[in-house]
């Protein structure tokens, strides 16, 4: 049994990690300001399993108190979404800088065994070269990507200077249960699922040929857990994805096959902040972390749709009421 601090633990990804840790018998402290996270994600645990520290990761004292006695610090709290970062770059970058620095300082001073940082494929920016390898130049082109890279750089410096064991995970397009269906942290699979369940048209930005490396959330949870203990992972950056890409039109086709009916959709103007294609090389994570994505996109879509069918409007912030 180990003790973890999960910042952003009430969010989509954080809540899935917390659930897995508790199932493993570990103890968890969740630090979250509930700006995009949801109290329902963390309220049903026993006090002995999960302690919730409500507040801002930019509050140094709060972070330090929450990290006391923890073996691992998983840092996921941050302002999410490319579009909201374009609207409010100051807030996105401030939380990335102050929050990550607070979390790293607490981890160093309290002798946390490892610090795992939720970075993003947005660090790769606009380069059309595929697949993305960790050795490629990171060159973000929006504030969200810059914020992710800023966090990575701070983590790298804390490893180089203080020998705090840090691991950065560059997450690609994560989807699955608990993801918001609207707002800044929503993803296309959540939005499509909600539209299908509400009998509305799925909105497709641009021609639908843009593609992403979609990865099911339980595979990402596995990556976080492996990153805590894998030998030789410290000081490193890893792509976490499925290693395959699918177009948005392909997703609609996947839902069509699953439901055995056509999915109504409507074309919307392409979003200028969207990259055209994205695909990860996951060899490094496979070799060093022992990471193996297990859930195929067909299985993942089925599990996700089923979850939304049961929970939509209940467990997700801003979710439609069915
Ligand atoms: N979901 C993805 O596909 C994806 C991809 C790449 C990177 N990431 C990164 O993973 C992390 C988690 O993303 P998510 O998809 O679960 O989003 P999310 O919005 O569901 O989770 C973020 C959590 O952080 C909390 N938070 C935000 N600002 C905070 C602050 N100042 N203090 C305390 N808590 C704060 C929110 O309330 C929320 O619970 C983020 O850092 C995100 O950038 C996610």
Which CATH number characterizes residue 200's domain?
A: 3.90.25.10
Q: Is residue 287 part of a domain?
A: no
- Domain co-membership, 153 together with 24: yes
Q: What share of the chain is helix, strand, coil (3-state, %, to 5)?
A: 40, 20, 40
**208 belongs to a structural domain:** yes
Question: Helices 12-23 and 217-229 meet at what angle, rounded to 10?
Answer: 60
Show which residues are catalytic.
Answer: 144
How many separate domains does the chain show? Answer: 2
- Residue at 318 is within a domain: no
pLDDT at 273: 78
Residues 22 and 70 in one domain: yes
The CATH code of the domain that includes 117 is 3.40.50.720
Residue 33 Cβ inside 6 Å of ligand 1? The answer reads: yes
Q: Would 202 be classed as within a structural domain?
A: yes
Same domain, 20 and 79: yes
Together in a domain, 203 and 233 = no
Q: Rounded to an integer, what distance in angstroms lies between the CA atom of residue 51 and that of residue 175? A: 26
Q: For residue 175, give Cα distances in angstroms to 188, 189, 214.
A: 8, 7, 7
Pairing of strands 3-7, 72-75: parallel
C-alpha 280/C-alpha 53 separation (Å) is 35
Q: Is 290 a member of any domain?
A: no
Q: Are residues 28 and 114 in the same domain?
A: yes
Atom 34 of ligand 1 has which residue's CA nearest to it?
A: 32
Helix (H, G, I), strand (E, B), or coil: what is residue 132? Answer: strand
Task: Clarify whether residues 103 and 222 are in a common domain.
Answer: yes
- Predicted confidence pLDDT, tens digits, the chain (322 residues): 999 999 999 999 999 999 999 999 999 999 999 999 999 999 999 999 999 999 999 999 999 999 999 999 999 999 999 999 999 999 999 999 999 999 999 999 999 999 999 999 999 999 999 999 999 999 999 999 999 999 999 999 999 999 999 999 999 999 999 999 999 999 999 999 999 999 999 999 999 999 999 999 999 999 999 999 999 999 999 999 999 999 999 999 999 999 999 999 999 999 887 889 999 999 999 999 999 999 999 999 999 999 999 998 664 444 433 3
User: According to the model, what pLDDT value does residue 178 have?
Assistant: 96
166 and 90 fall within a common domain: yes
Looking at the structure, do residues 8 and 142 belong to the same domain, yes or no? yes
Which atom of ligand 1 approaches the CA of 147 most closely?
43
If asked whether residues 147 and 204 sit together in one domain, one would say: no
Does the Cβ of 84 fall within 6 Å of ligand 1? no
Q: Is residue 300 included in any domain, yes or no?
A: yes
Residue 235: inside a domain: yes
In a domain, 285, yes or no: no
If asked whether residues 183 and 52 sit together in one domain, one would say: no
Tell me: do 162 and 90 sit in the same domain: yes
The per-residue pLDDT for 319 is 41
Give the structural domain span for 44: 3-173+217-240
CB of residue 17 inside a 6 A radius of ligand 1: no
Query: Is the domain of 195 the same as that of 135?
Result: no
Which atom belonging to ligand 1 lies closest to the Cα atom of 99?
31
SS3 of residue 170 by DSSP: strand
Q: Residues 227, 234: contact at Cβ < 8 Å?
A: no
């Amino acid at each position: 049994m180990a003790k973890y601090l999960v910042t952003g633990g009430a969010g989509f990804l954080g809540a899935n990690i917390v659930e897995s840790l508790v199932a493993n018998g570990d103890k968890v402290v969740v630090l979250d300001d509930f700006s995009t996270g949801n109290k329902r994600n963390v309220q049903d645990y026993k006090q002995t399993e999960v302690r919730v520290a409500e507040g801002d990761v930019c509050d140094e004292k709060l972070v330090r108190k929450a990290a006391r006695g923890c073996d691992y610090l998983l840092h996921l709290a941050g302002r999410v979404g490319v579009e909201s970062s374009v609207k409010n770059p100051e807030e996105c970058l401030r939380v990335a800088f102050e929050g990550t620095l607070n979390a790293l300082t607490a981890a160093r001073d309290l002798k946390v065994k490892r610090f795992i940082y939720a970075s993003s494929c947005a660090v790769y920016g606009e380069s059309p070269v595929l697949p993305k390898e960790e050795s490629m130049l990171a060159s973000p082109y929006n504030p969200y990507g810059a914020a992710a890279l800023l966090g990575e750089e701070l983590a790298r410096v804390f490893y180089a200077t203080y020998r705090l064991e840090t691991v950065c995970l560059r997450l690609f397009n994560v989807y699955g249960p608990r993801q918001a269906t609207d707002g800044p942290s929503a993803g296309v699979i959540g939005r499509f699922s909600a539209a299908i369940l509400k009998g509305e048209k799925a909105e497709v930005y641009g021609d639908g040929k843009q593609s992403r490396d979609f990865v099911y959330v339980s595979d990402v949870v596995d990556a976080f857990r492996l990153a805590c203990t894998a030998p030789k992972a410290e000081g490193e950056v890893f792509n976490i994805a499925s290693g395959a890409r699918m177009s948005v039109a392909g997703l609609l086709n996947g839902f069509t096959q699953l439901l055995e009916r056509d999915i109504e959709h409507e074309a919307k103007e392409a979003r200028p902040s969207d990259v055209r294609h994205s695909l990860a090389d996951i060899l490094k994570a496979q070799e060093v972390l022992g990471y193996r994505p297990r859930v195929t996109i067909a299985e993942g879509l089925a599990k996700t749709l089923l979850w939304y069918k049961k929970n939509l409007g209940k467990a997700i912030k801003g979710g439609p009421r069915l």
